[in-house]
Structure 1
Amino acid sequence: MFGTYFRVGFYGSKFGDLDEQEFVYKEPSITKLAEISHRLQEFYSERFGEGEVQVVKDSNHVEKSKLDPNKAFIQITYVEPYFDTYELKDRVTYFDKNYNLRTFLFCTPFTLDGRAHGELHEQYKRKTILTTSHAFPYIKTRVNVLQREEVILIPVEVAIEDMQKKTQELAFATHQYPADAKMLQMVLQGCVGTTVNQGPLEVAQVFLAEIPEDPRLYRHHNKLRLCFKDFTKKCEDALRKNKTLIGPDQREYHRELERNYQRLKEALNPLISRRIAQLYTDLLPHTSARDSVNRSSLRRIEA
């Protein structure tokens, strides 16, 4: 009943009415991107001729003017069901998260100079949200896309999402039942390892070393700072949990994880302990009692 989902776009006059249309396909849960790409290319090649169908290899915008007008192009992208925060309160079980699905998400990393990936300070992300005409599960395995919405994340927002994801992975590995020591140690090593490229320390050094000049970035700066505080707390929880799971043969490895974490924490402390004063000052010089309560609530939210 449950499955894996792919966004499929068709480009080229050979497709007729399908030209520039996009659909969400539901496939068996073990289906890989390469499998559906091969199957669709083979299917349409039988209709249009060998060599007449090409698969677009990335998830960037397709500029039809740059495509060969004599060929047919298919763009296939893995997508995930997408839920607003309020929806997750009701979608608790595995069944809830795989039923009545109409909204799907895929992300495309990019830099302003055209590369897909770059340094932390130049890494952007485009989040594309698709809404289908009918909800899955449906009588058909292909449903057309009715609406497309795009959200661009600037580099500091990408960093915030990445740190939130690392923190969630740590929390999951720590509280997993039954406990899995190997999984927990693998996640911990990825978080506190000294050789991790673009790891937490580098993220903090890039985005928290200086207060941003643009006041519009103050909230992002503060949110990332709070993400790191939560991250360090989850690291400590994970280390405590790991200590209860290991045998005598892993004690030295655990001590090395603890040493790495202490070095990470010492390097992070001066970066995450500094607050932006402007976020904690009154916004208006003259206030009524009600305004004072509102500002107090605002400060609590931003703290």
Structure 2
Amino acid sequence: MFGTYFRVGFYGSKFGDLDEQEFVYKEPAITKLAEISHRLEGFYGERFGEDQVEVIKDSNPVDKCKLDPNKAFIQITYVEPYFDTYEMKDRITYFDKNYNLRRFVYCTPFTLDGRAHGDLHEQFKRKTILTTSHAFPYIKTRINIIHKEEIISMPIEVAIEDMQKKTQELAFATHQDPADAKMLQMVLQGSVGTTVNQGPLEVAQVFLSEIPSDPKLYRHHNKLRLCFKDFTKRCEDALRKNKSLIGPDQKEYQRELERNYHRLKEALQPLINRKIPQLYKPVLQVNSHSKRTA
């Protein structure tokens, strides 16, 4: 049982030296956001008065000018340990992923007009990476945040991350040992089910129906196209695995999943087979040049 982590920010002159300080708190692994919010609100409520303490409910950047100067504000956000791709090669076991932790991440969805959530084509995401002064586990259960980095993902990048996540979930459920038929069917239903809002087909229709006019988006367009190719392959693997796990009572359900999959694949086919010619020209030129020099 390792920890659960929360970013806690303190705002208001009542906090004294703590004003505008941010920490990562390490809590027992089963702690919910509501529990730590209730505890901190109660603790500081006893010090300053219950009506003087307020918990900020969202994880957006705090503008102190908009806060009541006579109150104490606490912002609490659930965060997860953050690792670069190269780190994941060394952090294989569960212990590795919960030891010597200094960087944490949380994501905030937003749209350009101020709403948190919008349609797929207007859904941005702000990824905030925090670095603490020391590494967890530590002798203290809270450590100062000394550095903060923000990465803004455009709607198509958000779509790429979502599709990669769906594909990873499918791969995990397919290769789970021992096999878990219920988990596999739940993931399959979410991937090929016809009633899924903002599901894979809608993502493809929004971002892949036309080649982007901005050349800067070519790479993202191509990456998403390849994500969908991988996704459909994983769906096929998952369906094959599910077929080997089910009993006679679920054969009709399996046929329905397969029908949904074939409909999805058919609808996706023209979208994911369209390549952007501009991305392939330099490669062809280099190859032909290398042949001549050879």
TM-score, normalising length: structure 2: 0.97
Residue equivalent to 1:169: 169
Q: Give, in angstroms, the shift of residue 50 of structure 1.
A: 1.7
Specify the SS of the correspondent of 1:281: helix
Aligned to 1:201: 201
Which residue of structure 2 aligns with residue 226 of structure 1?
226
Provide, for residues 218-273 of structure 1, a one-character-per-residue CA deviation record: whole Å limited to 9, x for no partner.
Answer: 00000000000000000000000000000000000000000000000000000000
Structure 1 runs of 4+ aligned residues shifted over 4 Å read none
1:292 is displaced (CA, Å) by: 4.4
Q: What secondary structure, in the 3-state scheme, does the structure 1 residue paired with 2:86 have? A: helix
Deviations 1:151-208, CA, capped at 9 Å, x for gaps: 0000000000000000000000001111010110000000000110000000000000
- In 1, distance between residues paired with 2:282 and 2:22? 49
1:27-76 CA deviation, whole Å, 9 max, x = no partner? 00000000000000000011111210000000001000000000000000
Match of 2:58, SS? Answer: coil
Matched residue SS, 2:228: helix
Provide the C-alpha distance between the structure 2 equivalents of 1:164 and 1:81, rounded to a whole number of angstroms. Answer: 19
Residue identity matched to 2:120:
L
Aligned residues: 291
Distance in 2 between the 1:134 and 1:159 partners? 34
Residue 22 in structure 1 maps to residue 22 in structure 2: yes
Match of 1:108? 108
| TM-score for the superposition, normalised by structure 1 | 0.94
Alignment partner of 1:114: what SS? coil
Aligned to 2:276: 276
Q: Secondary structure at the match of 2:282?
A: coil
What displacement does 1:146 show?
0.6
Aligned ranges 1:133-172 → 2 under 5 Å: 133-172=133-172
Sort the Cα spacing of 1:241 and 1:283 in 2 relative to 1 into closer, same or farther, 3 A.
closer
Q: Hey, what's the Cα distance between the residues in 2 that align with 1:165 and 1:284? A: 32
What CA RMSD, in Å, does the superposition of the two structures yield over aligned residues? 1.5
Q: What amino acid is aligned across from residue 252 of structure 2 in structure 1? A: E
Q: 1:58 to 1:292 in 2, by over 3 A?
A: farther
The one-letter code of the counterpart of 1:156 is I
Aligned to 1:97: 97
Shift in Å, 1:282:
1.9
Q: Deviations over 1:93-141 (max 9, x none)?
A: 0000000000000000000011000000000000000000000000000
| Cα distance in 2 for residues equivalent to 1:49 and 1:259 | 61
Q: SS in structure 2 opposite 1:80?
A: strand
Which runs of 5 or more structure 1 residues have no equivalent in the other structure? Answer: 294-303
The separation in 2 between residues aligned to 1:229 and 1:22, in whole angstroms, is 42
Give me the whole-angstrom Cα distance separating, in 2, the residues matched to 1:288 and 1:71: 67
Aligned-partner Cα distance in 1 for 2:17–2:229? 53
Distance 1:239 1:292 in 2: 44
Aligned to 1:300: none
Secondary structure in structure 2 of the residue aligned to 1:268: helix
SS of aligned partner of 1:92 = coil
Supply the AA of the counterpart residue of 1:68.
D
Counterpart residue type for residue 143 of structure 2: V
Q: Distance in 2 between matches of 1:275 and 1:170?
A: 26
Distance in structure 1 (CA, Å) of the matches to 2:283 and 2:11: 52
Instruction: Return 30-39 or 275-284, whichever deviates more.
Output: 275-284
1:283 Cα deviation after fit: 7.3
Distance 1:267 1:275 in 2: 16
Amino acid at match of 2:209: A
> Separation in 2 of the partners of 1:210 and 1:87?
36
Distance 1:56 1:177 in 2: 42
In 2: Cα distance, 1:284 partner to 1:202 partner:
33
Identity of aligned residues (%): 83
Q: 2:241 — aligned with what?
A: 241
How far, CA to CA, are the matches of 2:118 and 2:214 in structure 1? 22
Distance 2:94 2:205 in 1: 38
Corresponding residue for residue 188 of structure 1: 188
Q: Who is 2:214 aligned against? A: 214
For 2:290 and 2:122, the matched residues in 1 are separated by 40
